[in-house]
Structures are given as C-alpha cells and as structure tokens.
Amino acid sequence: MKKLLIVIFIMIQSIIIYGKDFLEKPPIEVRIKLLRQIYRIKREIPVYVYIVNKGNKTLKINLSKHIFQNFAFRIRNLKNIAVKYSDNFFLYRMKNRYNVSGQRLVTLKPKEHFGRVIDIEKLFRLVEPDHYEITGYFFQNPARSNVDRRVASNSLRFILRPPRRVDHLVKKMNTQRQVYMGQKLTPGETVSFTINSKMRRDWQAYFRYIDVLKLIGIFNNYSNRYGTASFMNKRKVLADFKVFLKDFPAKTIVKFFVKRIIINRDKLTLGEDAEVLCNIVYKKNRLIERKDYYFSLYKKFDRWFIYKYYVVNK
C-alpha cells in the first residue's frame, strides 16, 4: 500500500510539473513507405520514414547522429515471430546507447514534415525467405524523459526471397521436379530422374522410383539383417539401408548418360520389365572413375520402378 501511494504521488507531481504533455502524446504522425513489396536476401531494403507535425504549434525535434536513438522498427513474420537485430548493429547499439552527443535541432511548423531513408537490411538479421510485417517508431528526443513518448507508424508487409541466382535455381529444380512427378516416364527417364535427384540431394525424389524392399535383396548384409529382424526392427533396417544408398554407388557423381534401353514384355502376363545401361562418372576422393551400371526396372500400372542394379566394369 505504501509503494502504491508513492507511485501515485510521483505521477501527480509529474503532471503538475509537465502539465498535459505527460498524458498526451506529441502531435507527431509517423509514416513509413516501401517502394516495392518483394526484396532479396542480402540486398538493400530501404524504408522511407516521414515525420509530420500534426499540431498547431512549431515542433522542435532533437536528432541524434545515431539512428536508433530516434528511430526504431519492429519486424515480425506472419507467425508473429520477431526478427532479431544483426550482430554488428546490436554491438553498435550497446556501445553508443548512452552517447547523445552531436545532436542537431529540427524545427517543424504545423503540417511540415521531414523524412529519412533507413536501410533495415543493415539493422536486422533478415536471412530467411518469408512474409514479414514492419512497424516504425519515432522518439522526439534521443535522451529519454517523462514527456518523450514513442510514436508508432503504420504497418506494412513485404516478401523476402532468396538471392536472384539461388531463387532461379530453386524455381528451375521445382519446375523439373513437378514435370517429372506429373508425367509418365520411360525407363531411361526414370533412371535419369533418380540419378539427377541424387546429385541434387533431393532425397524425397530420389527414393520415389526405387523399390527399397526388392533392392535390399542384392545387398547381403542388409538383406540378412532385414530377414532376421523382428517386425518392429525392420523399419530401422530399412532406414539404415536408405542412408547407405545415399552414398552408394558413388558419393559424388560428376556426370552420367544413358547408353542403352531394352524393354521386355511377357506375352502371357503382358507384364513389362526393362534394363537400362547407364555410364556414370563419379569422384571418389581425388580419383575420377567411369563405370557402366545396369539398372533393372519393372512396370507397375504406368510407372517404372528400379529394383536391382549392378556394375558391369568393376
């Protein structure tokens, strides 16, 4: 109770000393503007900040040479997760937080305004492609006082995308992937799609046309483990086998090309299988090797699946 009375007394004393200014916000309107909606990571993101005198009297503003003492921003993605300051700006801010030297006075008559362009890419850790919302804030004086309240601006949204070069490659990869996922592939195209996916390390696509349960049969270590494993442990063996396939038959493929395709059709069952001869050039440590691989595929409905392969020239 005693503490509450002290707080009330301080508030009343402040109102008497500072008058209405203690309760009222300064007659300032803050506006921010973005020239575009889409920006790239590691590129400038200039925000245009306008300070407008909305009052009937001349307004005096003390501007610091340090941006953060008059201007501030809040940036969040659409999941309401705040973006943190960059390491360099955070250290600069901590070093100069009490330094209010080098101020200059700006006088605004009623309805007058002044503006400033601030590159927020230099202030924040904007490294994740996403949709963001930014709000600006302004302080009339660098040295805070009881009558110096921050004034919020309007809020704007913008989209942050990867650098143009990377973005182009991502779009190209996704387009190719969608094309392959949506069309019927020949046996040669199925093998090419699988090897291309391995080179891109796109493992979801890599295993799309591989029958893992049949392929495990040509690797004795894994087939024996799978055969003797309990029902609960079989999934663990398959997971280990997939990890093995990511680095087999070659860890780093340099290039490849399909040399020959043979499709066989059973006249009685009308079932189809195929053999694809593919030349693969890969790098193992510092050694460049070129080997021919035979891939065996079977057709299920309108899709081909790889169930076996072996090396011709070991």
Distance CA 176, CA 178 (A): 5
Q: Which of 31-45, 91-105, 107-121 has the lowest mean pLDDT?
A: 91-105
- State mean pLDDT over 222-227: 93
**CA triplet 176, 180, 183: central angle to 5 degrees?**
135
Looking at residue 268, what is its pLDDT?
A: 73
CATH 2.160.10.10 for the 19-161 domain, yes or no: no
Q: Which of 270 and 215 is assigned the larger pLDDT? A: 215
- State mean pLDDT over 219-237: 91
- State mean pLDDT over 136-143: 88
Cα dihedral 157/163/169/172 (nearest 10):
30
Report which residue type is found at 82: A
pLDDT at 223 over 90: yes
Distance CA 24, CA 146 (A): 11
pTM for this entry: 0.48
pLDDT at 140 over 70: yes
Smallest CA-to-CA distance from 137 within 22, 32, 26, 25 is with 32
Q: How many CB atoms lie within 10 A of CB 297?
A: 27
Q: Which of 241 and 289 is assigned the larger pLDDT? A: 241
Q: What are the percentages of helix, strand and coil residues in the chain, rounded to 5?
A: 30, 35, 30
Check if 19-161 and 183-311 are the same fold: no
Contact by Cβ (8 Å): 313, 291: yes
Looking at residue 288, what is its pLDDT?
A: 84
Q: How many CB atoms lie within 10 A of CB 17?
A: 11
Mean pLDDT for all residues in the chain: 85
Looking at residue 20, what is its pLDDT?
A: 46
pLDDT at 190 over 50: yes
CATH 3.10.450 for the 183-311 domain, yes or no: yes
**CA 289 to chain centroid:** 36
Per-residue pLDDT of 144-168, as tens digits, reads 655 567 899 999 999 999 887 666 6
pLDDT at 22 over 70: no
Q: Domain extents for the chain?
A: 19-161, 183-311
Smallest CA-to-CA distance from 66 within 97, 108, 87, 107 is with 97
